[in-house]
Amino acid sequence: MPNDLKVFSGSASAELTQEICKYLCMEMGKSTVGRFSDGEISVKLNENVRGSDLFVVNSTSRPQDSHLMELLMMVDAARRASAGRVTAVIPYYGYARQDRKDQPRVPITARLVANLITAAGAGRVLTIDLHADQIQGFFDIIVDHLYATPVLVDFARREGLDNLVIVAPDPGSVKRARDFANRLHADLVIVDKRRKRANVSEVMNVIGDVEGRNAIVLDDMIDTAGTLVKAAQAVVDKGACSARACCTHPVFSGRAVENIEESCLEQVVVCNTIALTPDKLVPKIKVLSVARLLGEAIRRIHHGESVSSLFL
């Protein structure tokens, strides 16, 4: 087993990494991420990592290309500095929606990113709530796939809402929503959604009874918030007393924040897998930390303990 545990961060996840290191009672690894005058990214690990069990934390969030390149370069730097093992910790795995050929002459970019991370020298990947579970199979190295469900469920329990119903905003979210509903002993409702084109959705029907209930819409990410807002409006139109949302990744592109503020949603709970700028931290949005979840997973990986038992 590799020796000392070391945790480094790219620029996308510096604050989250500080929280992880605080949980682990250790200092964050010293590194420099900069740019040359022509715009090329430059990284350097500023301490000895020979033989260490090294974790590089960086979400591949916007700007996706830069943050992905940072991650690859830091992994490569660690490998060339003779780290004993290098794990890429990717709280938000970008390009995950490009996981299949749904049109002629398009790439499977989620697989391409997996190949790049492996080629850079990562021996393991730790990530949270992949958009599609099958992306784990795109890697030829070990993937520890965590779920933010325990973090979100704990929050929902503390809120103390009664007469709950959990809403899957589309059929692809049913598995996640069912698990969430089971943990809260709540019923499950599905919204039938027809998508006309990318980032444009249309709610067609609500399958299940929501009348007089407090609804929580559950999804893995919020992009433009179009699906989320329409699903919430659909259940309110069917008689729900209130509508809230719980999602892991706050991508928040375009008018997402404005759409949320103007919607019937009372609250939107997200995780800090993607760092939000102050202009996106509006009163309706609450951010929960996944630092303890990631920190405990890192500790268990380092000591060779079970990671899956985190979700039992």
Condensed to tens digits (0 to 9), the pLDDT of residues 150-188 reads 999 999 999 888 899 999 998 888 999 999 999 999 999
- Helix, strand or coil, per DSSP, at residue 23: helix
Average pLDDT over residues 246-250: 97
pLDDT band at 309 (very low <50, low <70, confident <90, very high): confident
- Please give the C-alpha separations between residue 166 and each of 139, 176, 233, 236, in angstroms, as whole numbers: 32, 10, 14, 13
Cβ–Cβ contacts within 10 Å for residue 205, how many?
A: 11
Between CA 263 and CA 244 the distance in angstroms is 10
Q: Judge residue 283's burial from the number of C-beta atoms within 10 Å of its C-beta, 0-12 exposed, 13-18 middle, 19 or more buried.
A: exposed
Between CA 152 and CA 289 the distance in angstroms is 10
The tens digit of pLDDT for each residue in 38-77 reads 999 999 999 999 999 999 999 999 999 999 999 999 999 9
First to last CA, the chain: 26
Between CA 178 and CA 131 the distance in angstroms is 16
Q: Which two tokens stand for residue 282?
A: 């509006």
- Please give the C-alpha separations between residue 33 and each of 10, 17, 295, in angstroms, as whole numbers: 7, 15, 23
Average pLDDT over residues 108-137: 96
Tokens 């250790």 appear where?
26
Q: Which CATH number fits domain 149-288: 3.40.50.300, 3.40.50.2300, 3.40.50.2020, 3.40.50.11900?
A: 3.40.50.2020
Which residues sit opposite 195 in a β-bridge? 201
Average pLDDT over residues 299-312: 89
**In this predicted structure, what is the pLDDT of residue 28?**
98
Show which residues are catalytic. Answer: 193
Q: Which two tokens stand for residue 43?
A: 């990284």
Between CA 42 and CA 275 the distance in angstroms is 21
The answer, yes or no, to whether residue 203 has pLDDT greater than 80, is no
- Distance from chain centroid for Cα 46: 28
CATH number for region 5-147+291-311: 3.40.50.2020
Tokens 């919430």 appear where?
232
For the chain, the domains span: 5-147+291-311, 149-288
**In this predicted structure, what is the pLDDT of residue 267?**
97
**In this predicted structure, what is the pLDDT of residue 204?**
66
pLDDT band at 310 (very low <50, low <70, confident <90, very high): confident
Mean pLDDT, rounded, of the chain: 94
Equal fold, 5-147+291-311 vs 149-288: yes
